[in-house]
């Protein structure tokens, strides 16, 4: 199998107080049934909370022409500590590519950037797990395919979890080790 190409994206750190973050709230995810509610809820509540009270980091991504083509967040938390023996681990609350720029390899570039950032954080001499987690609706086949191609494995393929905030839409957990092999 030939690995899909990622397109270079320029990652720019931001935070919820910045105009470029607020502009994300107007992105047109409405065509994607339940994702609009989920994306807005995460942008308005979950991510600001992580930035303020946890270790949440947020980036927007620009293409070579300077268009903002995507955004993503990364946190260090204990959301899925049942898989890490209680240790803090890395977690991607959300990533998205603007609908006008999808299917060009930007999603892959963004996931690779988040994996690299988590791998850097994993080198800090603190007893973190080196697992990077995310959760994704089972209906979001495109995202699951992207995560599989980036090396994530589904932890509960036969036991998806209903999301009470989205009409019990089912989601699965995916994880990947970001440990850097010793030279
Ligand atoms: C999921 C998402 C980030 C993918 O971004 P993208 O820039 O279109 O993805 P890429 O172009 O980098 O695609 C890389 C791989 O992902 C998979 N993929 C991406 N979109 C897909 C789709 N709609 N259908 C099937 N596979 C898809 C493919 O395997 C693709 O590999 P290929 O190029 O060999 O076919 C984007 O569709 C998105 O932002 N969706 C809305 C928000 C969302 O669902 N975020 C994830 C929440 S967990």
Q: Is the CB of 149 under 6 A from ligand 1?
A: yes
CA of 77 to the centre of ligand 1 (A): 25
Which of the 8 DSSP states describes residue 80?
T
Count of Cβ atoms closer than 10 Å to residue 11 Cβ:
18
* Residue 95 to residue 143: CA distance in whole angstroms: 10
pLDDT digits (tens, 9 = 90+) for 52-72: 999 999 999 999 899 999 999
Nearest ligand 1 atom, CA 6: 12
pLDDT digits (tens, 9 = 90+) for 27-48: 987 666 666 788 889 999 999 9
Q: Supply the pLDDT for residue 34.
A: 62
CA of 126 to the centre of ligand 1 (A): 33
Return the CATH fold of 10-135.
Answer: Aminopeptidase (3.40.630)
* Residue 152 to residue 57: CA distance in whole angstroms: 20
For residue 172, the SS3 value is strand
Q: Supply the pLDDT for residue 125.
A: 83
pTM of the prediction? 0.93
Q: Whose CA is nearest to atom 22 of ligand 1?
A: 142
Q: Is the CB of 104 under 6 A from ligand 1?
A: yes
The rounded mean pLDDT for the chain is 91
Domain boundaries, the chain: 10-135
Nearest Cα residue to 75 out of 60, 58, 56, 89: 56
pLDDT at 19 over 80: yes
Q: Supply the pLDDT for residue 114.
A: 98
Question: Of residues 124 and 175, which shows the higher confidence score?
Answer: 175
Q: Is the CB of 142 under 6 A from ligand 1?
A: yes
Over range 79-102, report the average pLDDT.
Answer: 96
CA of 143 to the centre of ligand 1 (A): 5
CA of 170 to the centre of ligand 1 (A): 19
CA of 112 to the centre of ligand 1 (A): 13
């Amino acid at each position: 199998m030939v690995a899909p190409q990622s397109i270079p994206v320029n990652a720019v750190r931001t935070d919820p107080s910045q105009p470029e973050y607020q502009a994300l709230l107007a992105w047109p995810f409405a065509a994607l049934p339940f994702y609009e509610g989920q994306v807005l809820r995460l942008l308005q509540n979950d991510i600001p909370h992580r930035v303020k009270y946890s270790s949440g980091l947020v980036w927007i991504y620009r293409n070579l022409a300077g268009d903002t083509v995507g955004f993503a967040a990364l946190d260090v938390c204990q959301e899925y500590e049942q898989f890490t023996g209680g240790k803090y681990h890395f977690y991607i609350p959300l990533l998205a590519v603007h609908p006008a720029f999808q299917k060009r390899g930007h999603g892959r570039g963004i996931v690779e950037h988040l994996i690299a950032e988590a791998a850097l954080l994993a080198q800090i001499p603190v007893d973190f797990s080196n697992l990077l987690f995310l959760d994704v609706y089972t209906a979001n086949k495109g995202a699951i395919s992207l995560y599989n191609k980036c090396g994530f494995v589904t932890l509960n393929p036969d036991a998806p979890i209903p999301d009470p905030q989205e009409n019990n839409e089912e989601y699965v957990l995916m994880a990947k080790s970001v440990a850097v092999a010793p030279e």
